[in-house]
């Protein structure tokens, strides 16, 4: 009965209390276990009172426990959520922490969590297996914990130097362990650091076997049971102590007040802690000793239950099995059936096939079965990388080359073996030696795939490393294999197969400059030659070889693609060796430029490379206009690097997604086949300068003059915008400075800017015959400077002597006479030649500057009138007294202005 409803006397209340005491008291004396048997009065007095510190710290420990459980199962997303809640809870407990100091268990979780995240971050394989949410949470949480731990660097450092458990955590663990052996096992795992946890997990993944893992689990259970026994005894002692202590306290509150323990209690508690720490240390040292013993023992022993089923090697043959052709073919098909399936170990499959070759050789099953297995070995090596973008590892590549060479040795040594893709498996002859052996397989397909793998290796290797040079040395081996297959197919292959292998040979030859043939053309070979050089000199020239292979393809090939590639490679090779007229004629006769836009991208890249090489060849031969026309399309696009297959330009994701970028990367040309882009641009700009500067001087006052090269004009504008003109540094600046000098007719300054040490090192020395190219450049600069000088200063002279022009530009007299005569014939220069005096007499037919301005004004007014008449015609439907003349624009009926013709043409008609 509640005291609030008592209206009687004290005696009544005493009697009621005594009546309540008659209720039987349960055994055990634990106050938390009898809430239903107490009266409301006693329930109020026996309520547990907890301080704010205990409440806050309990909230923190619960969150820490959740974080540790998430760490065990590698749930980084849960760790991130709980860490944010932990930060908020710590913020609430800030006032208590300021008084008491930062709790050690909080420092411990910060240090452990940071170590755990660093372990996960460094585990590359584990990161790949993570799902998207966990990977994102890992990076976020790692940044947050690093930023958060900066405020606690000193405490974390001191904790890592002395990583002992705090007393609070020990008490917490005791209370948790008293609930049962299962919870004690969990708390024991909580003490494990992130590094130890990951190490344990990785160890299990590496395959120690289920047996060893089971033994470790049993040991841990025994240790946990020992701990449980210890903790259970302490719990029973505490229960008995609570029973004894019930009579000592007069009130319930006095029982839970903080009291100072006696010296003896403190010693007992300290002794228990020391025993527990010692026991834990013994367990750790025992575990380390076991690990060391295992490592010293050598390799792990493979147990049947511990090895995954996928990695188990199938038994080749049972004991007593008679090994014949049928059994070996059946086993071969059994191995090949696992090819491409998920979980198949490709390396083990290759080992099995090689083992099968050895078994077949031991039992003398014949050479045909050996060829069949070797075909499958090479195919398995190609299938080792399932992704098309990845390239072969070096050891696999060497193994592949060796297998193909062994296969070719067998085929050349045994001409009675016939191979082909059209041979069905049922019609194969592997055992009957009286008839020719027939094996299903295509050596050409293997070699083509080998060539593609070699290209992929070169594409994916850093071109500036020694590794690239080492891989490039394998090209000689690849070319030898292609030559051997070429010889084999010339005897036993079809015409189509011969064309395919010829194209492979051409693709490895067309871009290489034949220095031996070049030296033979220069002069007779010296006597002091080694035997190797003499053998190379006697070998077939690359030009003769290309001619022979390409002509066979022109005559026999039925596919347009192989013929197109052969023509382009042939043109490229001609241009590379300065055979300009053959290259030009072959390009014009093939009419490839008409329909090349319909070809596939690799062929288009080859076409672009051929056109560029053709333009450079024309430049070396002094055909400046042809060189400019050949290079115009590539250079004016602004993406020569991409069009030549020598790299990708930066683009937005809208223009090119990741899949398209991967495809374009596979089309790139290997680095050793690249064309120097700086040389290409320099050749184009110099060609444009030699054409554009005289044209600009001739049409200085022409309002309708057109640009020959937009890129060259852009470079001129960039040079004019420079606020401070210093000495030129880059190649472009040299060309711009030379253009300005040529505009003034100063050919010597122009020559110094184009041909100097810096430009020689960057561009001109890269040509095979650099001195000849430099001589051609000097001659062209002199001639075009003379033309520019006459265009610019002809209005100043009445007449000028050709001898003076010859001395000014250091040209011989016939050359000067030829240049001036061409200018007069083409009506570019209004002058005549006086042969007896060797002078050029100028005709005053050119308008003055004032007349030029008047002509320009009349031209603009005429265009304005035309526009007005068109607008008026749209509104009224009439021409307003004017009629449309298809040839000369709008003319008035009764005379008036003429739109075309103009002053200069009238003057010319009057003069001639």
pLDDT band per the 50, 70, 90 thresholds, residue 834: confident
Mean pLDDT of the chain: 76
Q: Which residue has the higher pLDDT, 852 or 1?
A: 852
Range of lowest pLDDT (149-158, 237-246, 249-258, 363-372): 237-246
Pairwise CA distance, residues 209 & 203, whole Å: 10
Q: Which residue has the higher pLDDT, 272 or 678?
A: 678
Give, for 885, the enclosing helix (H) or strand (E): strand 882-885
Give ∠ CA 632-636-642 in degrees, rounded to 5: 105
Highest mean pLDDT among 225-234, 288-297, 423-432, 581-590: 581-590
Q: What is the pLDDT of residue 126?
A: 83
Q: What is the pLDDT of residue 739?
A: 92
Residues 29-63: tens digit of each pLDDT:
444 444 444 444 444 445 677 788 888 888 889 99
Give ∠ CA 630-635-639 in degrees, rounded to 5: 135
DSSP-assigned letter for residue 813:
H
Residue 823 pLDDT exceeds 70:
yes
Residues 6+ apart with CB under 8 A from 900: 888, 889
Pairwise CA distance, residues 586 & 564, whole Å: 12
Give, for 831, the enclosing helix (H) or strand (E): strand 831-834
Phi first, then psi: give them for residue 841, nearest 5 degrees.
-95, 120
Residue 555 pLDDT exceeds 70:
yes
Q: What is the pLDDT of residue 256?
A: 53
Q: What is the pLDDT of residue 786?
A: 92
Q: What is the pLDDT of residue 662?
A: 83
Residues of the chain with pLDDT > 90, as a percent, come to: 26
Q: Which residue has the higher pLDDT, 634 or 248?
A: 634
Tell me which residue of 166, 157, 49 sits closest to 100, measured CA to CA: 166
Residue 129 pLDDT exceeds 70:
yes
Highest mean pLDDT among 67-76, 301-310, 385-394: 67-76
Q: What is the pLDDT of residue 309?
A: 44
Q: What is the pLDDT of residue 538?
A: 57
pLDDT band per the 50, 70, 90 thresholds, residue 847: low
> Is 276 in contact with 313 (CB distance < 8 Å)?
no
Residue range 270-284: mean pLDDT, rounded:
78
Pairing relationship of beta strands 417-420 and 831-834 according to DSSP bridges? unpaired
Residue range 698-704: mean pLDDT, rounded:
73
Residues 6+ apart with CB under 8 A from 14: none
Residue range 469-487: mean pLDDT, rounded:
92
Q: What is the pLDDT of residue 205?
A: 42
Token reading at 582:
């053959």
Which sequence spans correspond to the domains of the chain? 52-161
Highest mean pLDDT among 182-196, 278-292, 573-587, 871-885: 573-587
Give ∠ CA 745-749-755 in degrees, rounded to 5: 125
Residues 645-676: tens digit of each pLDDT:
888 877 655 667 788 888 888 888 999 999 99
Residue 131 pLDDT exceeds 80:
yes
């Amino acid at each position: 009965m509640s005291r609030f409803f008592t209206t009687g006397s004290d005696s009544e209340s005493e009697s009621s209390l005594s009546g309540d005491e008659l209720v039987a008291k349960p055994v055990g004396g634990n106050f938390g276990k009898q809430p239903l048997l107490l009266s409301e009065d006693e329930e109020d007095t026996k309520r547990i009172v907890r301080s704010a510190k205990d409440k806050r710290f309990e909230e923190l420990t619960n969150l820490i426990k959740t974080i540790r459980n998430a760490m065990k199962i590698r749930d980084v997303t849960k760790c991130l959520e709980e860490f944010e809640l932990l930060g908020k809870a710590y913020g609430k407990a800030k006032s208590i922490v300021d008084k008491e100091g930062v709790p050690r268990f909080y420092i411990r979780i910060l240090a452990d969590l940071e170590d755990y995240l660093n372990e996960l971050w460094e585990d590359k394989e584990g990161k790949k297996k993570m799902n998207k949410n966990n990977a994102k949470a890992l990076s976020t949480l790692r940044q947050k914990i690093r930023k958060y731990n900066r405020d606690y660097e000193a405490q974390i450092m001191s904790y890592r130097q002395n990583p002992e458990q705090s007393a609070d955590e020990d008490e917490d663990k005791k209370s948790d362990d008293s609930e049962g052996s299962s919870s004690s096992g969990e708390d024991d795992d909580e003490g494990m650091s992130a590094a130890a946890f990951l190490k344990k997990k990785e160890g299990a993944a590496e395959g120690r076997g289920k047996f060893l893992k089971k033994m470790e689990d049993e040991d841990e259970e025994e240790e946990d049971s020992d701990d449980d026994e210890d903790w259970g005894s302490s719990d029973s002692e505490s229960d008995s102590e609570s029973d004894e202590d019930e009579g000592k306290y007069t009130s319930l509150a006095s029982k839970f007040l903080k009291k100072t323990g006696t010296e003896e209690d403190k010693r007992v508690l300290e002794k228990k802690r020391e025993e527990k720490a010692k026991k834990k240390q013994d367990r750790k040292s025992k575990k380390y000793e076991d690990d060391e013993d295992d490592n010293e023992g050598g390799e792990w022993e493979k147990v049947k239950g511990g090895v995954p089923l996928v990695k188990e090697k199938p038994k080749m043959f049972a004991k007593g099995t008679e090994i014949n052709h049928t059994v070996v073919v059946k086993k071969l098909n059994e191995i090949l059936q696992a090819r491409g399936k998920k979980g198949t170990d490709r390396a083990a499959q290759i080992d099995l096939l090689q083992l099968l070759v050895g078994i077949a050789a031991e039992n003398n099953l014949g050479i045909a079965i050996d060829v069949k297995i070797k075909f499958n070995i090479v195919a398995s090596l190609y299938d080792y990388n399932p992704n098309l973008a990845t390239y072969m590892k070096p050891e696999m590549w060497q193994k592949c080359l060796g297998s193909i060479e062994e296969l070719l040795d067998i085929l050349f040594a045994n001409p009675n073996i016939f191979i082909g893709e059209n041979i069905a498996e049922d019609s194969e002859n592997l055992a009957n030696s009286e008839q020719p052996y027939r094996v299903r397989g295509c050596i050409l397909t293997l070699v083509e795939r080998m060539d593609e793998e070699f290209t992929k290796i070169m594409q994916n290797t850093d071109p500036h490393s020694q590794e690239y040079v080492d891989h490039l040395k394998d090209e000689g081996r690849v070319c030898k294999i292609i030559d051997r297959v070429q010889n084999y197919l010339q005897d036993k292959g079809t015409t189509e197969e011969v064309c395919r292998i010829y194209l492979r040979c051409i693709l490895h030859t067309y871009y290489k400059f034949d220095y031996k043939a070049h030296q033979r053309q220069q002069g007779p070979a010296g006597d002091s030659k080694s035997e190797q050089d003499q053998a190379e000199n006697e070998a077939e020239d690359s030009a003769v070889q290309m001619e022979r292979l390409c002509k066979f393809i022109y005559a026999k090939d039925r596919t347009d693609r192989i013929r197109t590639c052969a023509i382009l490679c042939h043109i490229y090779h001609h241009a590379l060796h300065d055979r300009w007229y053959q290259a030009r004629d072959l390009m014009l006769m093939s009419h490839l430029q008409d329909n090349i836009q319909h070809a596939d991208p690799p062929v288009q890249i080859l076409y672009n490379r051929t056109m560029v090489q053709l333009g450079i060849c024309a430049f070396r031969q002094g055909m400046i206009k042809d060189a400019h026309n050949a290079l115009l399309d590539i250079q004016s696009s602004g993406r020569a690097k991409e069009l030549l297959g020598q790299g990708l330009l930066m683009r937005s994701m809208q223009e090119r997604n990741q899949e398209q970028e991967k495809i374009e990367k596979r089309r790139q040309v290997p680095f050793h086949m690249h064309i120097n882009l700086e040389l290409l641009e320099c050749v184009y700009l110099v060609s444009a300068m030699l054409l554009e500067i005289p044209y600009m001087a001739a049409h200085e006052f022409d309002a309708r003059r057109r640009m020959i090269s937009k890129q060259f004009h852009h470079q001129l504008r960039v040079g004019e915008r420079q606020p401070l003109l210093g000495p030129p540094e880059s190649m472009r600046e040299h060309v711009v400075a030379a253009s300005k000098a040529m505009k003034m007719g100063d050919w010597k300054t122009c020559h110094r800017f184009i041909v100097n040490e810096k430009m020689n090192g960057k561009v001109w020395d890269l040509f095979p015959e650099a001195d000849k190219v430099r001589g051609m450049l000097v001659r062209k600069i002199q001639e075009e400077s003379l033309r520019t000088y006459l265009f610019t200063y002809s209005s100043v002279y009445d007449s000028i002597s050709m001898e003076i022009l010859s001395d000014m530009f250091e040209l011989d007299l016939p050359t000067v006479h030829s240049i001036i005569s061409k200018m007069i014939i083409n009506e570019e220069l209004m002058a005549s030649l006086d042969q007896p005096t060797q002078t050029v007499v100028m005709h005053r037919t050119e308008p003055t500057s004032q007349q030029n301005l008047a002509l320009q004004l009349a031209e603009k007014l005429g265009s304005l009138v035309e526009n007005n008449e068109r607008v008026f015609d749209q509104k009224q439907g009439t021409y307003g007294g004017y009629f449309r003349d298809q040839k000369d624009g709008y003319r008035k009926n009764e005379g008036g202005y003429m739109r075309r013709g103009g002053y200069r043409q009238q003057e010319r008609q009057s003069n001639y």
